[in-house]
Amino acid sequence: MNSVLNLPGMTVKSTELLNIKDYLGEKRKLVDELLSRYIPSASEEPRTLHAAMRYSVMAGGKRIRPILALATYEQFRPDSSETDSSIGYIMAGLEMIHTYSLIHDDLPCMDDDDLRRGQPTCHKKFGIATAVLAGDALHDIAFDLMARSGHTEIVRELAQAIGTMGMIGGQIADVEAEGREVSKAEIIKIHSCKTGSLIRCSVRVGAILAGAERSTFESLSQYGEKIGLAFQIIDDILDVEGSQELLGKKVGADNIKGKATYPGVVGLEQAKKDADLLIDEAIELLDDYDDNMLKHIALFIGQRES
Ligand code: GRG
pLDDT of 146-184, one tens digit each? 999 999 999 999 999 999 999 999 999 999 999 999 999
In contact, 203 and 68? CB cutoff 8 Å? yes
Q: Is the pLDDT of residue 6 over 80?
A: no
Q: CA-CA distance, 125 to 289, in Å (whole number)?
A: 46
Amino acid (1-letter code) at residue 17:
L
Ramachandran angles phi, psi of 281, nearest 5°: -65, -40
For a ligand 1 pocket test, name from 56, 104, 232 the mutation site with the most ligand atoms within 8 angstroms of its C-beta: 104
Q: Is the pLDDT of residue 1 over 50?
A: no
Q: pLDDT over 90 for what percent of the chain?
A: 89
Give pLDDT, residue 9: 38
**Region of residue 60 (left: phi > 0; alpha: psi -120 to 50; beta: else):** left
How many CA atoms does the CB half-sphere of 126 hold within 13 Å? 23
* Ligand 1 binding pocket, CB closer than 6 Å: 61-62, 64, 98, 101-102, 104-105, 110, 117, 167-168, 171, 194-195, 232, 235
pLDDT of 120-152, one tens digit each? 999 999 999 999 999 999 999 999 999 999 999
Ramachandran angles phi, psi of 277, nearest 5°: -65, -45
Domain ranges of the chain: 20-303
User: Minimal CA–CA distance to 189: which of 176, 208, 202?
Assistant: 176
pLDDT of 190-228, one tens digit each? 999 999 999 999 999 999 999 999 999 999 999 999 999
pTM (predicted TM-score) = 0.94
Alpha helices in the chain (DSSP H): 20-38, 47-57, 64-76, 86-105, 122-126, 128-148, 152-162, 167-177, 184-191, 197-210, 214-241, 244-247, 253-257, 262-266, 268-285, 293-303
Measuring from atom 10 of ligand 1, which residue has the nearest CA? 101
DSSP classification of residue 41: P
Superfamily of domain 20-303: Farnesyl Diphosphate Synthase (1.10.600.10)
Ligand 1 centre to CA of 4 (Å) is: 30
In contact, 95 and 66? CB cutoff 8 Å? yes
